[in-house]
Structure 1
Amino acid sequence: MKKLSVYWGIVILCLMLAVPVLWAMENDVKEMPACIHCGMNRDMFAHSRMLIEYGDGSKVGVCSLHCAAVDLALNLDKAPSAIRVGDYGKKELIDAEKAFWVIGGGKPGVMTKNAKWAFADQADAEKFMKVSGGRFGTFDDALQAAYVDLGNDTKMIREKRKMKKMKMMEHKH
């Protein structure tokens, strides 16, 4: 009987600790549903979304590493205290610096031609690479690649938006 009550006590304690964490993970999208830079739906891009928390207490929600790189460049005087990214498969926010990053490969990225995906587990990243290619990297490697890709990606995004506007204009007439 004593073992059973200890067991249930541990289960209840774990649930009490887990529920706020799970609520907070979902809450970032409810709090910031659209990317601050491009307007994309962060829930739709939960697998690539990022949350940057700065030392002054401010938070920024973005859709991808591309937009995170833009935000970090625009806020040079604000030091980030935490940077989290959506796990590609699980769509849960994880520490970007502890993640296993896959850079490149055949799967199109979000806001970029050169994809950068984050995984909490190395085994998941390895499985992904077997199917889609790419190479392992750290968060710093992925961020550096995002900055290198920024010019070409910006041109690509402008072209896509221009084509989208032209299609919308055609449908109006």
Structure 2
Amino acid sequence: MILACIVGALQAAMFQSVEPDKSTLIMQGNAKEYCPNCGMDLAKFYKTNHTHNGKQYCSMHCLHEATKGTMPKDVMVVDTKNLNFIDASKAYYVVGSRMKGTMTQNSKYSFLTEDDAKEFQARNGGEIMSFEKAYEVAGKDFVSDMKMIKAKREGGVYAKGKEIYETKCTKVDKNIYESIALLKDDLKKFCQISADGDLQAAALYIWDEPKNVNVVKKAEKIVVPKDARCPICGMFVAKNPQWAAMIEADSEKFYFDGVKDMMKYYFKNNKNFNKLFVSDYYKLHKIDAKNAYFVVGSNVFGPMGDELIPFASQNEAINFAKDHAGKQILKFEDITEEMLKGL
């Protein structure tokens, strides 16, 4: 448990991030802590910050977008090692290292000295180059990075932002704001949220005005009462929640410690049930048993031994069967009483 917590904490801390009091912000006003191009928190992505013409950007990507691909002069960049702003034209950039980039799949970190850049390169890989060359690489990366950003936003950020905006905010007119940063800062007044991730998601949803955004309902799990016993074997089902299955009948709910016992009960009662649910083996989500895929004869056993192991998708069932010597993959309608006697 302690090891898991430590690993989780290390994963949560991004390399680009610094504590707000260790960041230098050059802009004025309430929105000075946000990138004017994308709205992201500048301290959170501080080690890739660039400044130009009085604006501070979270990344080389946003600088490139703001300058429309025209090589800018008088750019300052954060020295990754010492966290000071330095003249970008004199900096040594390490491009393409193993460290995650900001707004790009091809990371770009800068250093005051070549020795510092080489030290970073030795640990993390990448190529050392000048600002001009790094800016040129950002231009070549720009289209693919925009596709990556678009996919990420459409893959869940917009949906999260829509749900937050519609449930926790009063309506906002984005047209009165000059930048997404100003909009995001004002959302602190119009929304009942404070977490930066929530503010960012809501701001992106409002600013980008994406079409046809569907809020995906959070997946449920089968919640088993502590005193629920399996009506077939008598075991307390809550002791093995990852194997839980259930039948809903009128005002009653029946809980089982595996699909096998649920199906025995189903046949014993002459199939007079329509609402049957099982737990997806990998995600533990509550899924409709009649739409699930079941692996039989594998080397993985449930609380009652041989088991029908459920999956939401056929591909997951196939992969599991390959990895665990599964003999068959069945749909709900393929399960028979005779087959259950052999388990």
- What is the match of residue 216 of structure 2? 170
| Structure 2 residue runs without a partner (length 5+) | 1-22, 161-214, 220-343
Amino acid at match of 2:216: E
Q: CA deviation at 1:170?
A: 2.9
- What is the match of residue 279 of structure 2? none
Q: CA deviation at 1:81?
A: 4.8
Q: CA deviation at 1:29?
A: 5.9
Distance in structure 1 (CA, Å) of the matches to 2:156 and 2:146? 15
* 1:137–1:52 distance in 2 versus 1, CA, 3 Å: same
Asked if the contact 2:25/2:33 (under 8 Å) is kept, the reply is no
Asked if the contact 1:99/1:138 (under 8 Å) is kept, the reply is yes
- What is the match of residue 123 of structure 2? 131
| Structure 1 residue runs without a partner (length 5+) | 1-24, 54-58
Name which of 116, 119, 134 aligns with 2:111. 119
Asked if the contact 1:62/1:68 (under 8 Å) is kept, the reply is yes
Q: What is the SS of the residue equivalent to 1:73?
A: coil
Q: Does 1:52 align with 2:47?
A: no
Amino acid at match of 1:36: P
Amino acid at match of 2:55: V
Distance in structure 2 (CA, Å) of the matches to 1:37 and 1:29? 13
Amino acid at match of 2:26: D
- What is the match of residue 320 of structure 2? none
Q: Name the count of aligned residue pairs.
A: 141
Name which of 77, 86, 90 aligns with 2:82. 90
Structure number having the greater helix percentage: 1
State the percentage of identical aligned residues: 29
What is the CA RMSD across the aligned residues, in angstroms? 2.3
Distance in structure 2 (CA, Å) of the matches to 1:50 and 1:165? 25
Q: What is the SS of the residue equivalent to 1:47?
A: helix
Distance in structure 1 (CA, Å) of the matches to 2:28 and 2:120? 29
* Bigger Rg over Cα: 2
Q: CA deviation at 1:132?
A: 0.8
Q: Does 1:41 align with 2:87?
A: no
Asked if the contact 2:26/2:55 (under 8 Å) is kept, the reply is no
Distance in structure 2 (CA, Å) of the matches to 1:47 and 1:129? 16
Higher deviation after alignment, 163-172 or 133-142:
163-172
- What is the match of residue 157 of structure 1? 149
Normalised TM-score (structure 2): 0.38
Distance in structure 2 (CA, Å) of the matches to 1:172 and 1:39? 26
Q: What is the SS of the residue equivalent to 1:28?
A: coil
- What is the match of residue 10 of structure 1? none
Q: What is the SS of the residue equivalent to 1:158?
A: helix
Amino acid at match of 2:136: Q
Asked if the contact 2:25/2:56 (under 8 Å) is kept, the reply is no
Q: Does 1:66 align with 2:61?
A: yes
Distance in structure 1 (CA, Å) of the matches to 2:88 and 2:26? 15
* 1:129–1:80 distance in 2 versus 1, CA, 3 Å: closer
Asked if the contact 2:51/2:77 (under 8 Å) is kept, the reply is yes
- What is the match of residue 6 of structure 1? none
Higher deviation after alignment, 86-95 or 134-143:
86-95
Q: What is the SS of the residue equivalent to 2:47?
A: coil
Runs of at least 4 residues off by over 6 Å:
none
* 1:45–1:29 distance in 2 versus 1, CA, 3 Å: farther
Q: What is the SS of the residue equivalent to 2:48?
A: coil
Distance in structure 2 (CA, Å) of the matches to 1:136 and 1:80? 20
